[in-house]
Chain A
Amino acid sequence: MTLRSYVVSRILLTIPMIFILLTIVFIIVRVLPGDPVLLHFEKMENPRAMEEMRQKLGLDKPIWIQYFDYLFNLLRGDLGKSMQDYSPVASQILSAFPATLELAIFSMIIAVSIGIILGVESSKSYNKPKDHIVRIFGIVTYAIPVFFLGMIFQIVFGVGLRWLPVGGRIYPTMEPSGLRIPLSQPPGGFATHLLLSCVAGLVAVMMCVVALKIRGQKTTRKTLGLLVSLFLTVWILWALAGWRFITLGELRISTGLYTVDSLLEGNPYKFVEALRYLCLPSLTLGLVISGVFIRLTRSNMLETLRLDFVTAAKARGLKEITVTYGYAFRNAFLPILTMMGLQFATLLAGAVLTETTFSWPGLGRYIVDRINFRDYTAIQGAVVFYGILVSLVSLVVDLLYAYFDPRIRL
């Protein structure tokens, strides 16, 4: 199996996986006994209001029609309406997700760097005092409850030393807007715009040709075909997307990640501020997760450090750092990568406790809120969102596996 067929088959396998997942979620939420509407209203029985809600949410239809509605709506990115205020669940989730994503990314960076560096160091000084200290550190951080550590950090760095803010994402009214460039309509209208977009396609093709020339590849029929399709794609996309921004009057790019948006906006002050707000929550979460990585790195390194090719590399006089990272760690990395995927998926699902401790307006808090309101459609939407997210993360991990371990590409 070549790398390409591995990638294609792995991507194709994700589709039935997600389909099965969607069906299971539907069965759990809708088909199993217990009427969501009845549960939502709890004891205040008001038949008219309940009937009205059923109609608005489409819960009065036969179950199999509901199922297909649910699937087709999902294809359009529609996760249904919230039982609380009938606003679309998808947009609620999407507005809460960037906060969680940002926190997850920063905590992962902290956890993985602490975990790998300490794990490698401790495996290299196996059974020496350094090793014991690192192991104790790993167990302590792993065992400590996240809200407890969070509160200690808040007391020390927030209340005591007043270095860092104790909660929230950024000072209100300071939310970065992302990239905004005002655009004016070209004099000739859409026709001129279409013509100008053609230039973008040509530029893309030229760049590709130059790149091919540098690599010294011959122009074959296949590359010609690729160039033509590249030209068409760039032209069409540029024309359509560009026209949309022009009619809006400005070009808007914002990711919802405050650190990225503040940079796009070109406002270093906001960037620093966003980082300051990120510090305590990501450090708390990162430290707690790092314990897993320390232990995993250490145990895998202990195994690979014993392997023949490590001794052989030393016997060739390679530098200590090359042997440690290029040989032993490179081969100990795959299980760590798996754990990174799992942990990252968990983090994306919202670190409920951390987000609550630091009033972080992310998915975790969204879910807790919705559960308190018995908002079944929102919960279902969030579960579906997580499910898809987890399958995508595991897809990425598997593809990275193939990249890092040439033996899988066979």
Chain B
Amino acid sequence: MEKQLLAVEGLTVEYWARRGRVRAVDSVSFTLDRAETLGVVGESGSGKSTLGLSLIRLIPPPGRIIGGHLWLEGTDLLKLREEEMRNVRGRKIAFVFQDPMTSLNPVKKIGEHFVELIRTHEPKTGREEALRRAEKLLNDVGIQSERINDYPHQLSGGMRQRVMIALSIALNPSIVIADEPTTALDVIVQAKILDLLKNVQNVYAMALILITHDLSIALERCNKILVMYAGQMVEYASVENIYNKPQHPYTRGLLKSIPNIELAEQKLEAIPGSPPDLLNPPRGCRFWPRCPSSIGKCREREPQPVETEPGHFVRCFLHEVAGNESN
């Protein structure tokens, strides 16, 4: 465990709504090594954003982490006091948000965002030095350093996302979590931003958690992939295994729905139905109503994750026989 940068064990998050409790993240476990890239894939509402925010303990109010451990270099983040957690945010784990148009403070200049960040975590740094570092960081992400005096509204969406990335790497964190960093941008800018992320990841030797709804992006850019469905981890494996031998019917469905340029005639297959209401999840496996290969006991009992080969976890009865019998 000491070797691993981040080890998440049975992380469970619930939203306590008036109509009942919603388990948005249900005992998710994974590990992350230095400079590794993990893709978290799932449809809207699958709990992937909540998972991202819970890693820095910033889930919005009705939500709370009710169980699990978050080991970062051997310390459990869930046991830290709020002030100690504040030192982790930004310095050890940085976050890039989905919508760059709204993630910067509209009344502060770009440079001011950097000065604030750097001086909060390194109080001895002077204002001038912080600004100089900001200029260098902006250059690294491909923005002219004069832009330091601009306000956020004077930059385009793509540029703002670059600024967000520059902010996230400013203190050289060991992990960057990017929550759908390109969803709000157009396709060409998307590719550039993803390349930029890859690039800074290499230069600064950081681990990256890329949260996306697009499996093809994750396949292209990650080492490991965690597929989420209705708050649960359904499959977690290396990118090769996910691509070559997907085991969960949901992962297979996602793979089939990626268009392939060589098979232009191929008809894309969609997964029928829509994700369940988490206030009221189906009995048994959460995927069975949409599953093409569901069997009798899928409706009765909930499958548990099994390790079918080292590092390949899947939550499905079809593979339980191969692994050890649990529960």
A residues at B contact (CB < 8 Å): 126, 306-309, 311-319, 322, 326-327, 330-331, 404-407, 410
- Residues of B within 8 Å of A311, CB to CB, are 53, 58, 60, 97
Contact (Cβ within 8 A) A315 B94: yes
Question: B87: which A residues are within 8 A, CB to CB?
Answer: 317
Apart from A315-B95, A316-B89, list 10 A-B contacts with CB within 8 A.
A307-B102, A308-B97, A308-B99, A309-B105, A313-B105, A314-B58, A317-B86, A317-B117, A318-B120, A404-B107
Please measure, in the bound complex, the distance between the C-alpha atom of A406 and the C-alpha atom of B106, giving whole angstroms: 8
Q: Is the CB of B103 within 8 A of A312?
A: yes
Is B90 in contact with chain A by the CB < 8 A criterion? yes
Number of interface residues of B (CB under 8 A): 31
Could you tell me if B103 and A318 are in contact, using CB atoms closer than 8 angstroms? Answer: no
CB-based contact B102/A308 at 8 Å: yes
Chain B proximity of A76: nearest CB distance (Å): 43
Give chain B's interface residues, CB within 8 Å of chain A: 53, 56, 58, 60-61, 86-91, 94-95, 97-99, 102-108, 116-117, 120-121, 151, 153, 164, 167
Give Cα A407–Cα B167 distance, bound, in whole angstroms: 22
**Given contacts A311-B58, A316-B94, are A331 and B89 in contact (CB under 8 A)?**
no
CB distance from B32 to the nearest CB of A (A): 18
A330 touches B153 (CB 8 A): no
Closest CB in chain B relative to A216 CB, distance in Å: 14
On whether the beta carbons of A317 and B88 are closer than 8 Å, the reply is yes
Complex Cα spacing A326 to B112, Å? 11
A309 touches B102 (CB 8 A): yes
Contact call A330/B107, Cβ cutoff below 8 A: yes
B111 → A minimal CB distance (Å): 13
Q: Is the CB of A406 within 8 A of B120?
A: no
Interface centre among B89, B121, B164 (most CB of A within 10 A): B89
B151 contacts across to A, CB distance below 8 A: 406-407
In the complex with contacts A312-B104, A406-B151, A407-B151, A317-B90 CB distance below 8 A: yes
Q: How far is the CB of B259 from chain A (nearest CB, A)?
A: 31
23 contacts between A and B (CB under 8 A): A307-B102, A308-B98, A308-B102, A312-B95, A312-B103, A312-B104, A314-B89, A315-B94, A315-B95, A315-B97, A316-B90, A316-B94, A316-B117, A316-B167, A317-B87, A317-B88, A317-B89, A317-B117, A318-B90, A319-B86, A326-B105, A406-B106, A406-B153
Contacts A312-B103, A317-B89: A410 and B120 contacting too (C-beta < 8 A)?
no
Q: Are B90 and A410 within 8 A (Cβ)?
A: no
The DSSP consensus for interface residues of chain A is: helix
**Which chain A residues border B58 with CB–CB below 8 Å?**
311, 314-315
Please tell me if the beta carbons of A331 and B106 are within 8 angstroms of each other in the complex. Answer: yes
Q: What is the distance, in angstroms, from A1's C-beta to the closest C-beta of chain B?
A: 14
CB of A379 to closest CB in B, whole Å: 43
A102 to chain B, nearest CB (A): 32
Most buried by B among A315, A319, A322, A327: A315
Chain B residues with CB below 8 A from A330, complex form: 105, 107-108
A406 partner residues in chain B, CB cutoff 8 A:
106-107, 151, 153
Question: In the complex the two chains form, is B106's CB within 8 Å of A317's CB?
Answer: no
Contacts of A319 in B (CB 8 A): 86, 120
Residues in chain A near residue B53, CB distance under 8 A: 311
Nearest A residue to B52 via CB reads A315
Interface centre among A312, A319, A326, A404 (most CB of B within 10 A): A312
Q: Smallest Cβ distance from B231 to chain A, in angstroms?
A: 21
Most buried by B among A313, A314, A316, A330: A316
Which chain A residue has the least Cβ–Cβ distance from B91?
Answer: A317
The reply to whether B153 and A410 form a contact with Cβ atoms under 8 Å apart is yes
Q: Which 6 pairs, one residue from A and one from B, show the smallest C-beta to C-beta distance?
A: A317-B90, A317-B89, A315-B95, A316-B90, A308-B102, A406-B151
Closest B residue by C-beta to A409: B151
CA distance A311 to B89 in the complex (A): 11
- The residue that A315 contacts in the complex, of B90, B102, B107, with Cβ under 8 A, is B90
CA–CA, A71 to B108, complex, Å? 45
A259 to B238, CA, bound (A): 75
Task: Give Cα A118 to B53, complex, Å.
Answer: 29
Inter-chain CA distance A330–B102, complex, in Å, is 15
Asked if residues A327 and B105 are in contact (CB atoms below 8 Å), the reply is yes
Given known pairs A331-B107, A406-B106, A406-B151, the reply for A312 and B97 (CB within 8 Å) is: yes
Tell me the complex Cα distance, A309–B100, Å: 9
Q: Are B56 and A315 in contact (CB under 8 A)?
A: yes
A307-B102 Cα distance, complex, nearest whole Å: 7
User: What is the distance, in angstroms, from B1's C-beta to the closest C-beta of chain A?
Assistant: 25
Measured between beta carbons, the chain A residues less than 8 angstroms from B107 are 330-331, 404-406
A130 to chain B, nearest CB (A): 14
Distance from B127 Cβ to chain A, minimum over Cβ atoms (Å): 15
Given known A126-B61, A315-B56, A407-B153, contact A322–B120 (CB-CB < 8 A): yes
Closest to B109 in A: A406
User: How distant is the Cα of A308 from the Cα of B160 in the complex, in angstroms?
Assistant: 13
Chain B contacts for A312, CB-based, 8 A: 95, 97, 103-104, 164
Question: A308 and B61 in contact (CB under 8 A), knowing A317-B87, A406-B151?
Answer: no
Q: Which residues of A contact B88 (CB under 8 A)?
A: 317
Give Cα distance in the complex from A410 to B97, angstroms.
Answer: 26
